[in-house]
Structure 1
Amino acid sequence: MTSLTADDVRAIALSLPDTTEKLAGGQPTFRVGGKIFASLADDDTTMGVKCSVDERAELIASEPEKFFVREGHGDNYAWLRVRIAALEDAAELTAVLTDSWRQAAPRGLVAAHPELSPPRAEGG
């Protein structure tokens, strides 16, 4: 396992098309099309990313050491917290950030970057 940091989050997030960084509430946020797709926590050890409610529940159940929600966030909260250092490597961090980016980015921008689409399942 590689020890990932907030600097890795920043580098990968800003490498995604049309991404900008902006402070919001004193925290760095990463945006595409004006929409936030990732944010760093005050202590730089966790980040928030967009995540469907169904996928969020699955990730938390299967890998609670990596993924969690903040206390008080309801069932319809489409965000997930990620413990940055608990991720396996830069490839996993890239996959998490790219998935969140796809959920926030305008459809035309996503379509213009098929290289950022998730891999298709075998036989599908």
Structure 2
Amino acid sequence: MVTGDEVRAFAATLPRAYEAVVRDRIKFRVGRIVFVALSPDETLMGFAFPREQREALIAAEPAKFLLPEPSDLRFSWMRCRLAALEPDELRELVVEAWRMCVPKKVWTAYLETHPL
């Protein structure tokens, strides 16, 4: 089981990432782009994810992953239940979401020091 504190602690370590509070929600951004967000009660995490892969992820693990709110369906975004995640899985989801938002040179430099 993963907590909101673990999400915050890990996401804050990523280059160019910073935490912001928007309408009582914790969000992590690179520049102005949000790559991870926590629900107000910190039971759900939204994260950047390719739209074309959403249905497959939900079909594989429907108890863990769910579609974003209807207003967010147009974005490359997914949600998951934090209680259903393992720590390694959380790190993978957060890094992949962050990777969608940073320049390639930042991602490759990170990968050199933090191999997956």
The percentage of counterpart residues that share the same residue type is 36
Measured after TM superposition, the shift of residue 86 of structure 1 is: 0.4
CA change 1:116–1:85 in 2 (3 A) is: farther
Pick aligned residue for 1:26 from 19, 24, 27: 24
Is 1:41 equivalent to 2:1 in the alignment? no
**Structure 1 contact 38–48 (Cα < 8 Å) conserved:** yes
**Structure 1 contact 33–106 (Cα < 8 Å) conserved:** no
TM-score by length of 2: 0.87
Secondary structure of the equivalent of 2:70?
coil
Larger Rg: 1
CA change 1:118–1:65 in 2 (3 A) is: farther
**Structure 1 contact 35–105 (Cα < 8 Å) conserved:** no
Unaligned 5+ segments in structure 1 are: 120-124
How many residues are paired up?
116
Match of 2:107 in 1: 110
Unaligned 5+ segments in structure 2 are: none
